[in-house]
Amino acid sequence: MKTASNHNELATLSTVLLSNLDEVVFFSKLTGFIQDVMKEHKVLGFEVLADGCTRLAAENGKSLNGKLLNKGQGLAGYVARMKRAYYSNSVKRDPIASTGLRDEVVEAELCMPIMIDGHVIGTINVQSTQKERNFGEADMAFINEILNELQSPIRNMHLYLMAKHLNQELQSRIEAKEKELSQRVEIQVTKGFEDNSQMIGLSKNFLEIVQTAKKIAGQDFPVLLEGNHGVGKKILAKKIHAWSGRKGSVVVASCSALNETQLDRELFGSKGLLVQANGGTLIIDDISSTTALIQTKLLRVLVAGEMNAVDTDEKISLNVRLIATSKCALKELVEAGTFKEDLYYRLNTVALVIPALRDRQEDIKVMGEFFLNSGKAEKKVLTAAAIEKLTSYFWPGNAHELKNIMERTYILTDGQYIEASHLPEFAQEVKIEVAPVQAPYVEFTLFDLEKKHIIDTLDHLSGNKTRAAKALGITVKTLYNKLHSYGLIEAREQ
Query: From CA 131, how far away is CA 113, in angstroms rounded?
Result: 24
pLDDT at 475: 87
Residues recorded for the chain: 494
pLDDT at 179: 62
Contacts of 81 (CB under 8 A, 6+ apart): 52, 71, 72
pTM of the model: 0.53
Which domains occur in the chain, in start order?
A: 7-164 (3.30.450.40), 216-353 (3.40.50.300), 359-422 (1.10.8.60), 446-493 (1.10.10.60)
Query: From CA 65, how far away is CA 80, in angstroms rounded?
Result: 19
* Amino acid (1-letter code) at residue 368: G
**Could you tell me if 76 and 99 are in contact, meaning their C-beta atoms sit under 8 angstroms apart?**
no
pLDDT at 197: 54
pLDDT averaged per 10 residues in sequence order, the chain, 494 residues = 63 89 92 94 94 92 89 92 92 86 93 93 96 92 93 92 78 67 49 50 89 92 93 93 92 92 95 95 95 95 94 94 94 92 92 92 90 90 91 90 93 91 78 50 72 82 81 85 76 45
3-state secondary structure the chain: CCCCCCHHHHHHHHHHHHHCCCHHHHHHHHHHHHHHHHCCCEEEEEEECCCCCEEEEEECCEECCCCEECCCCHHHHHHHHHCCCEEECCHHHCCCCCCCCCCCCCCEEEEEEEEECCEEEEEEEEEECCCCCCCCHHHHHHHHHHHHHCHHHHHHHHHHHHHHHHHHHHHHHHHHHHHHHHHCEEEECCCCCCCCCEEEECCHHHHHHHHHHHHHHCCCCCEEEECCCCCCHHHHHHHHHHHHCCCCCEEEEEHHHCCHHHHHHHHHCCCCHHHHCCCCEEEEECHHHCCHHHHHHHHHHHHHCEEECCCCCCEEECCCEEEEEECCCHHHHHHHCCCCHHHHHHHCCEEEECCCHHHCHHHHHHHHHHHHHCCCCCCCEECHHHHHHHHCCCCCCHHHHHHHHHHHHHHHCCCCEECHHHCCCCCCCCCCCCCCCCCCCCCCCHHHHHHHHHHHHHHHCCCCHHHHHHHHCCCHHHHHHHHHHCCCCCHHHC
